[in-house]
Structure 1
């Protein structure tokens, strides 16, 4: 069970976690594409192409990113259910579920968007059976970790907190930076030279994000603030 207490330090840690796993999602696409094609493709923050786009096997690289995100959601749910997990570990596990952007994964396919829909349409055709199959499969994968996350919340107004994490929190603290980075890379060509098919701006951001995550992950432990408040002199 976890108690949510949002501070600016917590927001910083959550931002780093989301950016880290959003970047890893994209890197999984990229490296899967290289493994399938035998050559590096190209990627930005929000787009990737393989070196063998005409090869139907290349669509496996499109599925690889969501597969990674789904696995991380289940890893987070497992961490929440571990009986001997520390308060910090539970908080990170809770945040890890929402850092995979499950709202995007679950609702964008309704509008014929997302990796899962694009790859499935390309392989199996744009049919009603494919459309609903993709949606149902995604929901069946995402719902159990989300239910675990919901049940773990001990704050009052549990549903409001859950919906805040599911829909608003990632949009508020991560999306603006993500869109800015994509704009700088694609439209302004900032550090757009590539190494193994990856723009340097992406690589620099990834290094900063990894360092930032390891420096800030301790701020997920909301019990730390309770302990400090008890230690204050009266």
Structure 2
């Protein structure tokens, strides 16, 4: 069980975790694309293309991002076990919601997300594919979310859970992530590519890792 508390230091720590995992999700796509295609594709903050787009093997890179995300959710759920310290449990809780699970669960209803795109490309955009993708994603996401819900010790637990599920990570990470995408892609700010990755993306990743190192202790708000 953990007690949640929102402080400005906690927000900084959660932002770093959220930005780090959002970036890692995209990098997993990019590096998987290199492995399956044999050469680098192109990566921005919110978009990637492989060097072998259009070939079935390119979809391995598309699936790689969500697979990484789901694994991180389950690692986060594992860290909520009582045998771990309060800090570790707070870290695990943050890891679950830093993966933006609601996006993964809702977007396929609108025929969006990596999982639906790749599966529809491989097997056709049929009703069976549509509902199969939705059901599989929900089956994967529900167990760690249930564990996160049960871990909340605060009063009005359902509201705290919904706040983290539907609002908190979007408020902290979303504007910065999309703003950086706009700067690099549309304003061509630091858009020079290194191994297919925009320079602004690389700079942001380095700064995020450094900031995470100095702020990670604050993910337990009662240590702050």
TM-score over 0.5 (shorter chain): yes
Contact 2:62 2:114 in 1 (8 A): yes
In structure 1, how many angstroms separate the alpha carbons of the residues matched to 2:160 and 2:36?
41
SS of the aligned residue for 2:57 comes to helix
What residue ranges of structure 1 are gaps of 5+ in the alignment? 226-234
- Ranges of 4+ aligned residues in structure 1 off by more than 6 Å: none
| Alpha-carbon offset, residue 179 of structure 1 | 1.2
1:207 aligns with 2:206: yes
Number of matched residues?
Answer: 224
What do residues 9-44 of structure 1 show as CA deviations (whole Å, max 9, x unaligned)? 100100100000000000000000000000000010
In structure 1, how many angstroms separate the alpha carbons of the residues matched to 2:170 and 2:79?
24
In structure 1, how many angstroms separate the alpha carbons of the residues matched to 2:3 and 2:83?
17
2:176 aligns to what? 177
What do residues 143-164 of structure 1 show as CA deviations (whole Å, max 9, x unaligned)? 0000000000000000000000
Contact 2:30 2:48 in 1 (8 A): yes
1:137 aligns with 2:149: no
What do residues 85-134 of structure 1 show as CA deviations (whole Å, max 9, x unaligned)? 11111100000000000000000000111000110111111000000000
2:71 aligns to what? 71
SS of the aligned residue for 1:189 comes to coil
| Alpha-carbon offset, residue 173 of structure 1 | 1.0
Contact 1:87 1:223 in 2 (8 A): no
Q: What CA RMSD, in Å, does the superposition of the two structures yield over aligned residues?
A: 0.7
1:52 aligns to what? 52
Contact 1:76 1:96 in 2 (8 A): yes
1:23 aligns to what? 23
Q: Which has the larger radius of gyration?
A: 1
Contact 2:9 2:221 in 1 (8 A): no
1:100 aligns to what? 99
